[in-house]
């Protein structure tokens, strides 16, 4: 009975084999009891991205956005693959835009006054039959997407080998290929992102995420809020330095080294997890990851690109 008080995920949110008493699950619960791990949902709120109903229309390149009122255009990160690291920097978004990729989201308020170019663009959408699409017709005005504030961080929804939490320095918006990460009062977003950069969090993703076949891992918002993470608020400014260093490693194609850096800095040095426990975490994580990815090993390159 006392043990049940420490189970991270409510029974109503368990899915598939996620509730089985695996060694990895037992190890995470033990670390939670010791005060090393905390529930992610107690630190941040995870929300799904905007469902546009017609991404090809609402996601614009710079060329297609020409003439449209700038007040209706928000900088967009369409997928995690559009960013090379763990921090979305303004220079990243500018490079994506300059490469002719979809980099703006069209968000027009329902009662907005439209200039000629904007009206012509909407007329084209009407000729395509977009107002009668299921998602569009459920909105009071078919083209009026929600205008939510840019999140502090972003989380991958579908991924291959490694999930990612991206610190949103560029204040980009996003659609439902990514989740919003919004900190609760008093929570340091950079520290939360640092808490995601280690083997304990990755093991939790494997256990809570949905295995969709071909090595794809799907992270649903309500389920991932029950993820156990090693939140290190006492690192002060060190969490941002950690993210900058890990970001550089990730961009250089050294994702495993970035995870190892998080293990050493957060789990070992900041939170005092013993070496033997670290080894157990790593073995449990690798077993779970390899079990998921094994059917897709023949398509390793494709698996690494599945993140959307």
Query: What is the 3-state secondary structure of 50-104?
Result: ECCCCHHHHEECHHHHCCCCHHHEEEECCCHHHCCCCECCHHHHHHHHHCCCCCE
> What is the reported pLDDT for 293?
85
**pTM: predicted TM-score of the whole model, two decimal places:** 0.88
Contact 195, 17 (CB under 8 A): no
> What is the reported pLDDT for 22?
81
> What is the reported pLDDT for 70?
96
What is the b/e burial string over 258-280, where b = at least 16 CB atoms within 10 angstroms of the residue's CB?
bbbbbbebbbbebbebeeebbeb
**3-state secondary structure at position 228:** strand
CA 34 to chain CA mean position, Å? 27
Beta strand ranges found along 147-222 (DSSP E): 153-156, 158-159, 165-167, 178-183, 210-211, 217-218
Distance separating alpha carbons of residues 308 and 306, to the nearest angstrom: 6
Low-confidence ranges of the chain (pLDDT < 50): 1-19, 298-308
Contact 214, 295 (CB under 8 A): yes
As given in the structure block, the two tokens for residue 100 are: 């002719």
């Amino acid at each position: 009975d006392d043990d049940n008080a420490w189970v991270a995920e409510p029974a109503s949110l368990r899915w598939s084999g996620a509730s089985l008493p695996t060694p990895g699950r037992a190890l995470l619960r033990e670390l939670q009891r010791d005060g090393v791990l905390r529930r992610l949902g107690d630190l941040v709120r995870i929300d799904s991205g905007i469902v546009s109903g017609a991404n090809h229309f609402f996601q614009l390149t710079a060329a297609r956005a020409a003439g449209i009122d700038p007040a209706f255009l928000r900088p967009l990160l369409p997928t995690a693959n559009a960013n090379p690291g763990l921090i979305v920097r303004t220079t990243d978004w500018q490079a994506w835009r300059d490469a002719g990729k979809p980099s703006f989201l069209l968000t027009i308020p329902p009662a907005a006054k439209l200039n000629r170019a904007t009206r012509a663009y909407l007329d084209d959408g009407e000729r395509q039959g977009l107002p009668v699409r299921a998602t569009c017709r459920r909105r009071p005005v078919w083209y009026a997407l929600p205008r939510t504030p840019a999140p502090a961080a972003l989380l991958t929804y579908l991924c291959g080998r490694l999930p990612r939490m991206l610190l949103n320095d560029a204040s980009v918006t996003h659609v439902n290929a990514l989740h919003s990460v919004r900190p609760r009062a008093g929570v340091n977003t950079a520290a939360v992102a640092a808490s995601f950069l280690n083997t304990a969090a990755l093991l939790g993703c494997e256990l809570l995420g949905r295995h969709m076949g071909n090595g794809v891992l799907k992270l649903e918002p309500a389920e991932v809020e029950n993820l156990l993470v090693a939140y290190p608020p006492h690192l002060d400014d060190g969490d941002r330095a950690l993210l900058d260093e890990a970001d550089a490693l990730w961009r250089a194609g050294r994702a495993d080294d970035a995870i190892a850096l998080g293990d050493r800095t957060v789990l070992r040095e900041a939170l005092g997890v013993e070496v033997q426990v670290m080894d157990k975490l790593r073995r449990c994580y690798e077993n779970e990851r390899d079990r998921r990815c094994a059917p897709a090993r023949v398509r390793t390159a494709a698996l690494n690109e599945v993140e959307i």
